[in-house]
Amino acid sequence: MVPIRIRERERIHNIRLKRKKLEDIPEETELPIDTNPAELEEASLHLETDLEILSRAMDMGLWALCLGFGYILSRAHFRPLS
């Protein structure tokens, strides 16, 4: 019986350790100090494009959420009480 308990404890311990591990996410990519202006402009345009796409995605998500909530609310409101 003892080896089973030890294995179970080890398994639980391993699960807890896996949950505690965090991903290594790079925060920013830094440009070297001696970067030429053309590269800076290209990076700026890329950033603007990414922000525009993110903004549109957020708008579409909010629209979908509002429409879905309105649909569910209207279905609940007009449902017969029989």
Residue 50 lies in a domain: yes
Digit-coded pLDDT (tens) for 59-82: 999 999 999 999 998 888 777 665
For residue 45, tell me if it sits in a domain: yes
Q: Is residue 28 part of a domain?
A: no
User: Which residues touch 43 (CB under 8 Å, ≥6 apart)?
Assistant: 31
Residue 12 has pLDDT above 60, yes or no: yes
42 assigned to some structural domain? yes
> Which residues constitute the domain of residue 52?
37-82
Looking at the structure of the chain, the number of domains it has is 1
pLDDT tens per residue, range 37-58: 788 888 888 889 999 999 999 9
pTM for this prediction: 0.47
